[in-house]
Structure 1
Amino acid sequence: MAAGSVAAIVPVVAYAQAYSFSNVTIEGNQRVDARTILGHAKINRGRSLSAAEMNDVYQRLMNAGLFESVTLQPRGNTLVIAVKELPAISVINFEGNKRLKSEDLLKGISSQPRRFYSPATAEADAAAIAEAYFNTARVAARVEPKVIPRGNNTVDLVFEIAEGRVSEIERLSFVGNRTFTDRRLRQVLQTKQAGLLRAIISRDSYNADRIEIDKQLLRDFYHSRGYIDMQVQDATAEMAREQDGFFVTFTVREGLQYRFGTTRVVSEIAGLDVNEFAPLLRLKPGAIYSPSEIESAIARMESLAGRKGINFLRVEPRIKRDERNRVLNVDFALTRGERIFVERIDIEGNTTTSDEVIRRQFRSVEGDPLNAREVREAAERIRALGFFETANVEASEGSTPESVIVKATVEEKPTGSLSFGASYGKSDGVGLTVGLSEANFLGRGQYVAVDLNLGANNATSSFTFADPSILDRDLRFSVAGLYEQTEANYATWDSRTVQLATSLEFPIAENTRLTTRLTVGKSGIRNVPGDPATPTLPATGLLADEAAAGTKVYAGPGYTLSFDNRRDGLQGRTAYVFRLSQDFFGLSSDLKYLKSEIFAGSETKFFNGDLRLRAELEAGAVHARGGTDLRVLERFFMGDKMRGFEPFGMGPRDISNGRNDPLGGNYYAVARVEADFPLGLPEEYKMRGAAFFDVGSVWGLDNTAAGGVTVDDSRKLRSSVGVSLLWDTPMGPLRFNLAKALKMAEGDKEQRFDISISTKF
């Protein structure tokens, strides 16, 4: 109809050569204002229009996307513009979608309710929806737009969706790999081959963008193992005939493996002593070359320069290849970098989180020399907060060539959680857990949590408040409260504890922090043999005396001194951790004693982290003061410190009158050695294996002959060996231990299997 209208106009205009009018009349418009139509037409009264210009008016009106048809009719001195408006969209519906939510699909299309319907736009929207399904590996998805008239020139727009099946990666294969097997290279990729967990693993579906990331992961994998010439030459994806799967093939060129040759530090800065920087290299000749080792050495030297106040120092690695011996000789040149300063730090995207929470992640402020590494590390610290979906930090040119503007752009995410859970432990039975926490309280970066645990034998409730940067300094302040009532399966007493503790943590040196605290509380044991509440049980001297003493109040200061070389991220292959804790109880309290514990641990990685060896040494001592009699609650139990034994299954015991009551000890020491390694399973299973050996003991009591009872509290070594399955589940890291006690003492109780939360120092 529109084409016919133009054809009818052209002869008139062509005959008149030009047409001039003094008035414009709009006909047929219902929702579109006449002034809007004239604005799109862009014509002026009294001006002559040629046939070509009349056609341009027509095209402009049709391209406005408001009309189904347009007719231009000259009537004397009046130009009549007759339009037929497109129908308005009343409702947009999606039918057949299960995997993608309707609200998410609506955000990705151009058609919107209360706007004009356009067939071309609807078709483009259908293609966009199909693309969204393609990105979720549903390449067979089909989308068809349909219009349902509703009267009054309105329609409902419905997208009928046939989602189809997920097109999985049926096979991941490699061509050109000789050093590493296909199985090993599959573990590197983000994309996974469909396996047993295909129902819950989304990474076994095809995604073209993920394939590009996989190429880089392969390059990083080879380069970190000395194959500096490795190339990913191609990555092809072939669809199965049924369109329900892909066969992906990576073609690689490995090249030769290189090792470190000679490494040294050279200085191009007058007066700078390279001998202060040389010990920071830590690169052994003959070790497999790795770019990450180069980066760590550079970071250590730049960190030292910062501590010494040497600004604008740049460490430039100069690599010389010795192809004959297949080694890389590296000179680390200390040079002067450009004199560039931080003009200002801008923060965008945070609506809840205060600027100060983000700003304090930067070690530099306005006016400081620019350190590119510090900018990258600040971005990592911001991401590590866990408050943001994305966090990017970039530096752009400032108002002068010697200045830059550092811009942090973040996208916030919910930081509060309400959790419900269930648990089972051999010592605690079945339990229910309810927790409420907020990691970014009031946008200030403060942590608040309330937890309630109800078990068959235990009940615990606690609250925690922590401010990681009180007074906008590196001072962590926390307050924690605890109420605990236990009925231990492995012990012959029940306990009740109420406690409140406050602490302040701050750095005192590089990688070293000090925590000071004040703890107050009260606790007591009950329902022990000989307790009046259980007269049918035979009396047991030590526990009966402790229960008869009733509830005791304790209060006192304490501290923890800790060193951890992982804090600056420059530990290299070996991590060292050391902790010393002491608590001095006796401030207006019933109990007066000193409790000390020490921990030292080391972890070394081999074969680029595939094998990890850990060694840990832990010991503790408690000493009564002022005539205080220590109770079972103040003494030590090995608990989870030594595997292969029940929670109260080793140490001094009261075996009188047919009982076998664990009493704990005033001293303990344990050494643990462990190696964890990959099991060869697909990486998405997140399972590793481990083997361990533990040796230790708990011993020593103040009174071993109360009530005529004699207790053996001698120092007898125990040992155990075992294997573990480490599984990083959505509920948290779990550890399944299968252990065998090699050496036991009389009265000890072995535990062959247990499940626990996997923790590392």
Structure 2
Amino acid sequence: MKAGSNFLNAVSAVALSASMVVTGGSVATLVSATVAEAAVIRNIQVHGADRVSANTVKANLAIKPGENFTSADIDESVRRLYATGYFSDVKVAVSGSTLVVTVNESQLLNEVVINGNRKIKDDKLQAVLRSRSQGPYSEATIEADKQAIRDAYAAIGRSDATVTTQTYPLGNGRVNLAFVVDEGDRTKISQINFVGNQAYSNGRLRSVILTKKSNFLSFLTRKDVYSPEKLRADEEALRQFYFNNGYADFRVISSDAVLDEASNEYVVTFTVDEGQRYNFGDVNVESTVEGIDPEELKGLVETKAGKTYRAKDVQDTMSAISQRVAANGYPFARVTPRGNRDLGNGTIAVDYLVDQGERAYVERIEIRGNTRTRDYVIRREFDIGEGDAFNQEVITRAKRRLEALGYFSSVEVTTAPGSEADRVVLVVDVQDQSTGSFGIGAGYETGNDGGFKLEASIEEKNFLGRGQYIRIAAGGGEDSRNYSLNFTEPYFLGYRLAAGFDIFKNEDRSEDYYRVDSQGFTLRVTAPITEDLSTTFRYNYTKLDYRTSLDRDDTRLSTPYWDAVNNGPWVRSSISHSLTFDTIDDRTLPREGIFAQITQEFAGLGGDSDYYKISGKARYFHTLLEDADVIGSLSVSGGHMWGTGDTVRVYDQFTLSAGELRGFESAGIGPRATSTGDALGGTTFFTASAEASFPLPAIPRDSGFRGAVFIDAGTLYGNKVAYVGGDNVKGTDMSLRASVGASIIWASPFGPLRFDYAVPIKKEEFDETQRFKFGIATQF
């Protein structure tokens, strides 16, 4: 038997050597499959490999000496060798018990350069190339690289850029490769049209989408760059806008971009079908899961009968119910909304069904498309990991978090089958976008302490792709200087804790008889309580140095506040705690939502200040006229302090800034020293404001200009600063101040800028007023 077995193996080897040759990846087989499957080779010979070692060739083979192999293994070996890119031709043959591999080596790239590029730097383009110095020369790879360069130029509005290549042979199989770029002209968008819209004007819909018409600042904003991906994102933005305003049947019929080659401009047209507008009808919760009481879940429902239908309310309700059910021990439970349209009444009744979903587990999470952002920055936004129960609502919530980061231009989360029937692979496709910005702003304030003020800042929201935030700013005017550094790590020690620090230095010479320099730092950590509620703890350290411009013999130095401050520097050491509730829909231009914050601070951990403060502020936004895009807002704030030591110092009391009570200077109202008129601050304050903003008429909405009208009111009173001698303090009573005014707001490429003109309509004779104010706008 043994002799017969050896004879059969010998026959198999001879047959294969005569009949199986592989050239360029094809296999010709003349022997039977049975004989081929029984083939075994004893050694491997490699011919033609000079620069690439024989061991490298052997390592890429699917055939090993002493093991059975088939024609499929030979095909796989050829594919692997071609995939390395190091070979232009591969031949595999069997001779007796030897596998013979003959290769022709590809040329080797000595150097890869890019010429003709001015708008995009070398390092940006090199990052998208697969052709590398000391790598193989491959026509297929070079063609892919040329397309990658064209795509990079299309992303900045130069879709007609062309790319050619030049090669320079150096001998010995080595070659230099140059990509030659003709950048062409920048394409623009001349028109954005909508067809089929009745409920909303073209101007309102243009404000919803990301694509904008070209204007004189487009070279900075790049919002007029056309791309198919951006058009798809615009379609989704339109759908969400209509779905959240009652139009549940809305659909985008088509979106087209037509290029006029003569002018190099696109005309973009969206054709839509708005459908009927609905309100919510009856809302109910049902459950087929034993142990889940639907009555207990009804309090989580955001969709109320009679309210305008909003897809976001449905999504928020699903999320709240899903989290509650999962927390009660049902990780596989599924929440499904069922809508029943009543076309006659224009309502949609919604039933939320809680049932037992399929038992599935997350096998792994694949991250794709991120060229800059680290994988772990994306992965940590998921509340599930490998091996956890699959829950669609958790996936949807993670997608919203990723989109809210602002790191990506697009986020898609899909599923793929895992290795077993109950395993699911999550596939996360993202596209990185620019997260850094350089801001420069100028302001002018009237009044005694007025003048031009400048500020410049550098900000990065995704520092080194780690998701960290960093900002460096410097500014000042005639009487002030300020510098700051801010840093935040959003996931401190791997937990969802936003930890960071703020370092600052300020110089202020605005008062007549003294100047104050302050410097210090804040350490802070913020923890989420719910999706909308968070809590923040801070440690604050400030060193203040007051300096007088008067001689020590000046009689005005006997005023009460001078007794408190003329022997500086002083140190303030405090801890503070804040609760923040935030449902704002858009940080740049809020249209709906509430921002509310309450803060308490205790000073007395060493240092020279001893007090307890509590303060709060809240602002509510609501769209008053949807199509006209008129947005209303109401805001209130207030605070009170108590001294806990022997003395309350001037710099410990509250002051109101020019932004909190427009029409008055910063520290322009409240208690003052009778001898010098310098501001002392107060122990209690209240403010209230009402504002309506709107697009400016006859100015394209894409330009980012808006107007506003407002009315402000407030007061600052009370004084705990001890005074000596015959001096006194005025303005300690609760006297109301008020102003009315108008504003021009510009969402500029350098940040939001605002010009306010306010007229005080109620004030005290010693108040310091300021009618004009121009500078960087703040919402919160």
Scaled by the length of structure 1, what TM-score is found? Answer: 0.74
The match for 1:6 is none
Matched, 1:227 2:247: yes
Deviation at 1:456, TM superposition (A): 4.3
Matched, 1:602 2:624: no
In the TM superposition, 1:665-676 aligns within 5 A as: 665-676=682-693
Tell me the SS of whatever aligns to 1:641: coil
Given candidates 251, 274, 277, the residue that maps to 2:271 is: 251
Deviation at 1:368, TM superposition (A): 4.3
Residues 629-663 of structure 1 deviation map (CA, whole Å, 9 limit, x = unaligned): x232112211132111111211122344xx43222
In the TM superposition, 1:302-341 aligns within 5 A as: 302-341=322-361
Deviation at 1:752, TM superposition (A): 1.4
Measure the CA separation in 1 of the matches of 2:592 and 2:358: 34
Deviation at 1:697, TM superposition (A): 0.4
Percentage of matched positions with identical amino acids: 32
Q: Could you tell me which amino acid in structure 2 is paired with residue 594 of structure 1?
A: Y
The match for 1:743 is 762
Deviation at 1:67, TM superposition (A): 13
Q: Could you tell me which amino acid in structure 1 is paired with residue 508 of structure 2?
A: T
Deviation at 1:313, TM superposition (A): 2.9
Q: Does the 8 A contact of 1:491 with 1:662 survive in 2?
A: no
In the TM superposition, 1:195-594 aligns within 5 A as: 195-240=215-260, 242=262, 244-270=264-290, 272-342=292-362, 360-364=380-384, 368-382=388-402, 395-406=415-426, 424=443, 426=445, 427=449, 456-461=478-483, 468-470=490-492, 472-475=494-497, 477-478=499-500, 480-488=502-510, 492-503=513-524, 505-506=526-527, 512-527=533-548, 531-532=550-551, 535=554, 541-556=559-574, 558-564=575-581, 566=583, 575-594=593-612
Measure the CA separation in 2 of the matches of 1:471 and 1:161: 46
The match for 1:623 is 642
The match for 1:614 is 633
- Cα distance change on mapping 1:608 and 1:405 into 2, 3 Å: farther
Given candidates 169, 176, 179, the residue that maps to 2:196 is: 176
Q: Could you tell me which amino acid in structure 1 is paired with residue 479 of structure 2?
A: N
Q: Does the 8 A contact of 2:203 with 2:701 survive in 1?
A: no
Q: Does the 8 A contact of 1:225 with 1:608 survive in 2?
A: no
Q: Does the 8 A contact of 1:619 with 1:670 survive in 2?
A: yes
Matched, 1:717 2:739: no
Measure the CA separation in 2 of the matches of 1:260 and 1:520: 52
Measure the CA separation in 1 of the matches of 2:532 and 2:150: 52
Deviation at 1:92, TM superposition (A): 6.4
The number of aligned residues is 694
Deviation at 1:335, TM superposition (A): 2.3
Measure the CA separation in 2 of the matches of 1:343 and 1:404: 5
Larger radius of gyration: 1
Q: Does the 8 A contact of 2:442 with 2:776 survive in 1?
A: no
Deviation at 1:362, TM superposition (A): 3.3
Residues 696-737 of structure 1 deviation map (CA, whole Å, 9 limit, x = unaligned): 101112357752435242111011122333333333333322
Residues 430-472 of structure 1 deviation map (CA, whole Å, 9 limit, x = unaligned): 6777878887889986667776656543344556665555554
Measure the CA separation in 1 of the matches of 2:119 and 2:583: 42
Measure the CA separation in 2 of the matches of 1:103 and 1:240: 32
The match for 1:699 is 717
Q: Does the 8 A contact of 1:579 with 1:598 survive in 2?
A: yes
Q: Which has the higher contact order (CA 8 A, sep 6+)?
A: 2
Q: Which blocks of at least 5 consecutive residues in structure 1 are unaligned?
A: 1-28, 37-63, 69-83
Q: Does the 8 A contact of 1:139 with 1:243 survive in 2?
A: no
Measure the CA separation in 2 of the matches of 1:309 and 1:125: 51
Q: Could you tell me which amino acid in structure 2 is paired with residue 691 of structure 1?
A: V
Q: Does the 8 A contact of 1:123 with 1:145 survive in 2?
A: no
Tell me the SS of whatever aligns to 1:707: coil
Measure the CA separation in 1 of the matches of 2:388 and 2:150: 50
Measure the CA separation in 2 of the matches of 1:469 and 1:120: 42
Q: Does the 8 A contact of 2:280 with 2:348 survive in 1?
A: yes
Residues 525-552 of structure 1 deviation map (CA, whole Å, 9 limit, x = unaligned): 3216xx42584x8556234333445444
Measure the CA separation in 1 of the matches of 2:209 and 2:437: 34
Tell me the SS of whatever aligns to 2:770: coil
Residues 374-415 of structure 1 deviation map (CA, whole Å, 9 limit, x = unaligned): 123234435655677887655544454334355667788999
Given candidates 627, 630, 638, the residue that maps to 2:656 is: 638
- Cα distance change on mapping 1:381 and 1:199 into 2, 3 Å: closer
Tell me the SS of whatever aligns to 1:661: coil
Tell me the SS of whatever aligns to 2:663: coil
Query: What is the Cα-based RMSD across aligned positions, in Å?
Result: 5.3
Deviation at 1:606, TM superposition (A): 5.3
Measure the CA separation in 2 of the matches of 1:133 and 1:521: 49
Measure the CA separation in 2 of the matches of 1:559 and 1:289: 41
- Of residues 292-301 and 438-447 in structure 1, the stretch that sits farther from structure 2 once superposed is 438-447
Measure the CA separation in 1 of the matches of 2:151 and 2:708: 44
Measure the CA separation in 2 of the matches of 1:276 and 1:404: 31
Q: Could you tell me which amino acid in structure 1 is paired with residue 611 of structure 2?
A: Y
The match for 1:732 is 751
Deviation at 1:504, TM superposition (A): 5.0
The match for 1:757 is 776
- Of residues 544-553 and 606-615 in structure 1, the stretch that sits farther from structure 2 once superposed is 606-615
Measure the CA separation in 1 of the matches of 2:568 and 2:751: 39
Deviation at 1:331, TM superposition (A): 1.9
- Of residues 643-652 and 722-731 in structure 1, the stretch that sits farther from structure 2 once superposed is 722-731
Measure the CA separation in 1 of the matches of 2:382 and 2:131: 44
Scaled by the length of structure 2, what TM-score is found? Answer: 0.72
Q: Could you tell me which amino acid in structure 2 is paired with residue 621 of structure 1?
A: H
Given candidates 205, 215, 219, the residue that maps to 1:185 is: 205
Q: Could you tell me which amino acid in structure 2 is paired with residue 276 of structure 1?
A: E
Measure the CA separation in 1 of the matches of 2:209 and 2:138: 43
- Of residues 660-669 and 605-614 in structure 1, the stretch that sits farther from structure 2 once superposed is 605-614
Tell me the SS of whatever aligns to 1:746: coil
Q: Does the 8 A contact of 2:709 with 2:742 survive in 1?
A: yes
- Cα distance change on mapping 1:708 and 1:351 into 2, 3 Å: same
- Cα distance change on mapping 1:374 and 1:635 into 2, 3 Å: same
Measure the CA separation in 1 of the matches of 2:695 and 2:762: 29
Deviation at 1:620, TM superposition (A): 1.6
Q: Could you tell me which amino acid in structure 1 is paired with residue 776 of structure 2?
A: I
Tell me the SS of whatever aligns to 1:242: coil
The match for 2:670 is 651
